[in-house]
Amino acid sequence: MAGHLTEHGLRAGALNLYGHHDAATPLPNGQPGVAVFPPSAVSVFLTEAHGSPRNSFAVTITDLEPHGDGIRVRAGEGGQLSADITPVASLDLGLVPGMEVYFVIKAGAVAIYPG
């Protein structure tokens, strides 16, 4: 996900992502950057999650597709965000395209890079 660097991660539109970066120097605030995370690190909730994960944001499901032995949930503009979940979780949550859900990602799973 592309955006602009902040003290704690990345701002992409109205979304603030918390993450980590490997450099010994602080992130240059306001400069272009990217946040990356594996779809397997994303949890899907029907309501906003409260707890230790720093990143929780509403998305609209654009597609559900088979992915290995799981389901890849695509969301956001053009399906640019993805979450990998089990088929049982997809059924339990009643997921369908067009539905609003929350993607939740722990900050430790989000890598921030200057771009």
Give the pLDDT band (50/70/90) at residue 23: confident
Q: How many domains does the chain have?
A: 1
- Residue 57 pairs with which residues in a beta bridge? 103
Quote the CA–CA distance of 82 and 84 in Å, as a whole number: 7
Q: What is the pLDDT of residue 20?
A: 92
Residue 83 in this model has a pLDDT that exceeds 80: yes
Task: Return the CATH number at 37.
Answer: 2.40.50.100
Vertex 16: Cα angle to 79 and 67 (nearest 5): 30
Using CB atoms within 10 Å of the CB of residue 26, give its burial: 0 to 12 exposed, 13 to 18 middle, 19+ buried: exposed
**45 pLDDT above the threshold of 90:** yes
Whether residue 32 contacts residue 4, with contact meaning beta carbons closer than 8 Å, is answered with yes
Instruction: Name the residue range of residue 94's domain.
Output: 2-114
Report, as an integer, the average pLDDT of 80-94. Answer: 97
**Per-residue pLDDT, 9:** 93
Q: Residue 24: is its pLDDT beyond 80?
A: no
